[in-house]
Structure formats: C-alpha cells, structure tokens
Amino acid sequence: MENTNIATVLSKIEDPIKAAVQMGNMFAQSGLFGVKDPAQGHVIALACLFDGLTPFQVIRRFHIVDGKLCHKADTMLAEFNLAGGICRWLKWDDECAEAEFEFRGNKIVNKFSWEMAQKAGYPFGRDGSLKANWKASRPDMLRSRLISKTIKMIAPEISSGMYSPEEVEDMREIANTLDPKKEVEQKNDLLNGKNQLENSQIEEDLKSEYLMLCAELGETAVSDYLRAIGWIKESETNIDLSDEKMKKIIDRKESFAENVKILCDANNNR
C-alpha cells in the first residue's frame, strides 16, 4: 500500500528536479532523517522520486557517505531473502564470518576473516590504530563485509553496483593513509624519468645533426680541422668528438663550416 500511494503522488509531479530540490532543502532545514546539508537532502529526494520510494524507505535501505547513497548490508541481505535467496550462517565471531548463500540454483560457501581484513588494511586508521567501528564490533564488521562481497557475486541485481557504508568508509580511510611525501617522490621520479628521456632525445637529435654536417663538409676535412684545433687526438676521427663539443659546433654551425672549408682549401693548395 505504501509504495502504491507514493507512486500515485509521484506521478502527479510535473517537474521532478524542482521537486527534488525543494524536498532536499526541506530535509536539510528540518534535520529530518539526519540530513546535514541540502546536497544530502537532494540525494534522498532524487532516490525517492526515481526509485518510487518514500523518504522513510530510502533511509531504511541506504546510508549517505560522501554525498553518495550506500546500500546497507542488512538491507542487502533482507532484499536477498525476499528475492528467494537463502543465507545459512556457519560462523560469526571475532575471527571470521562464514555463511552458505543459495540463490537461483547457485550455492556458495564464503567467508571474510579478520586476517583478510587486516591484509586489506580495512580496520586501521591513518595513524595505524584500530578504528572505532572495528574495535566496538568486529564480528558485525566482518559480517557486513561478507554479505556485501557475496551478494555482489551471487546476486548483483540486489546490490545494484552500490558499495556498503562499511566499504566506502574503509576505502576512504585507505585513500587518506597515502603518504603525501611518497606521492611527491613518485611524481618527482616520473618527472626525472621524463626529463631523462627528453635529454636523451635531444642528445640523439644533436648527434644526428652533427653527423649530417660532417657528411656535408666531408668527414676527412672535419677530422683534419678538429685535430688542427686540438679537439681530437691524431688517432681519432670526427665521430670521437664529445657531446659537449658537438653542441658547440651546432650552435655556431656556419662559422665552423667556413673554417673547415678554409683549412681544406689551404691543404689543397699546398
């Protein structure tokens, strides 16, 4: 009856967005349903309008975390049962939550343990201490994790792709534990790597330009000139020149070419 009545009311709303804004503002001003600001109120109002639910149904089914609706684990399990699913609890204590889930011919025994939670970093805050919700009721946290994890696997239409509040809180906490100093170091490493690649490319381009100039002027002529000015040894050739000196030549390419030609002409006239 409740859903029939709300559907009748919602069908008469001409502008759903305007109605959602008005409803959300009213929720925020009154503090109804624990709404703290208009944005949270708008989320609830939109869920009411587009899912055909009353505000009371929305609050019973969902939490709002960081402005997003999160599907409560208990509600997820209730809807799973209403859809014909069966959950048989095998273990539920401080060390592990384990149960057998059955849905539409599929049967699975799944568990979520304290050891698994620790490895994932879920129970710990930014300072490394145990978070209050895990300290107060570890079995319930393990149970909520197991419900969300398994129902997403065996009956994804129940969770509708939503995370449970516990999952969102844990993911947010893990994100907050990232070391800002380490992030800066990683960015610097990436930047240094990029600079090294760019410098390497510049050196390759410089060497290519230098070798093209040598080919144009004649490698023998260039080698003779470099020996004459003392930039290479008698036993060396133009390709043995250092990168630093190659850059100097390219920076004043025209004068270098002219000097090589002058020396070449002088040698030819001897």
pLDDT exceeding 90 applies to what percent of the chain?
A: 16
Q: Is residue 69 part of a domain?
A: no
- Taking residues 202-215, report their average pLDDT: 80
Residue 1: per-residue pLDDT: 44
Both structure tokens of 239:
């390709």
Max CA-CA distance within the chain?
Answer: 114
Question: Residue 260: pLDDT above 60?
Answer: yes
Q: Is residue 67 part of a domain?
A: no
Domains: count for the chain: 3
Q: Is residue 79 part of a domain?
A: yes
Domain boundary among 176, 203, 224: 176
Which residues touch 225 (CB under 8 Å, ≥6 apart)? 259, 260, 263, 264
- pTM of the prediction? 0.49
- Provide the angle, in degrees to the nearest 10, between the axes of the packed helices 73-82 and 138-154: 40
CB atoms under 10 Å from CB of 190, counted, come to 10
- Taking residues 207-222, report their average pLDDT: 85
- Taking residues 87-114, report their average pLDDT: 94
Both structure tokens of 38:
């208009």
- What does the alpha-carbon distance between residue 78 and residue 116 come to, in Å, rounded to a whole number? 25
pLDDT exceeding 70 applies to what percent of the chain?
A: 72
Residue indicated by tokens 């129940």: 158
Q: Is residue 65 part of a domain?
A: no
Report which of 176, 99, 179, 67 is spatially closest to residue 131, judged by C-alpha positions.
Answer: 176
Domain boundary among 140, 160, 176: 176
Residues 204 and 149 reside in one and the same domain: no
- What does the alpha-carbon distance between residue 45 and residue 133 come to, in Å, rounded to a whole number? 28
Q: Is residue 66 part of a domain?
A: no
- What does the alpha-carbon distance between residue 181 and residue 20 come to, in Å, rounded to a whole number? 43
Residues 32 and 110 reside in one and the same domain: no
CA dihedral sign of residues 186, 188, 192, 198 = positive
Q: Which of 76-80, 166-170, 244-248, 257-261 has the lowest mean pLDDT?
A: 166-170
Residue 132: per-residue pLDDT: 84
Residues 230 and 167 reside in one and the same domain: no
CA distances from residue 67 to 30, 37, 266 in whole angstroms, order as listed: 18, 10, 83
- What does the alpha-carbon distance between residue 132 and residue 123 come to, in Å, rounded to a whole number? 9
**Highest-confidence segment of 47-56, 140-149, 173-182, 246-255:** 140-149
Residues 170 and 193 reside in one and the same domain: no
Residues 82 and 172 reside in one and the same domain: yes
> In a 3-state reduction of DSSP, which class is residue 117?
helix
Pairing outcome for strands 62-65 and 68-71: antiparallel
Domain boundary among 60, 83, 109: 60
Instruction: pLDDT band for 85, please (50, 70, 90 cuts).
Output: very high
Residue 79: per-residue pLDDT: 87
Residues 155 and 199 reside in one and the same domain: no
Residues 36 and 93 reside in one and the same domain: no
- What does the alpha-carbon distance between residue 270 and residue 268 come to, in Å, rounded to a whole number? 6
Residue indicated by tokens 């994932």: 120
CB 121 within 8 A of CB 113: no
Residue 198: per-residue pLDDT: 56
Residues 134 and 80 reside in one and the same domain: yes
Residues 107 and 124 reside in one and the same domain: yes
Transcribe 135-180 into DSSP letters.
Answer: HH-HHHHHHHHHHHHHHHHH-HHHHTTPPPHHHHHHHHHHHHTS-H
Residue 153: per-residue pLDDT: 87
* Domain with 52 in it: 2-60
Residue 83: per-residue pLDDT: 92
Q: pLDDT (tens digit, 9 = 90+) per residue, 25-76? A: 887 887 766 677 787 777 777 777 777 777 777 666 666 655 566 667 888 8
**Highest-confidence segment of 51-55, 134-138, 209-213:** 134-138
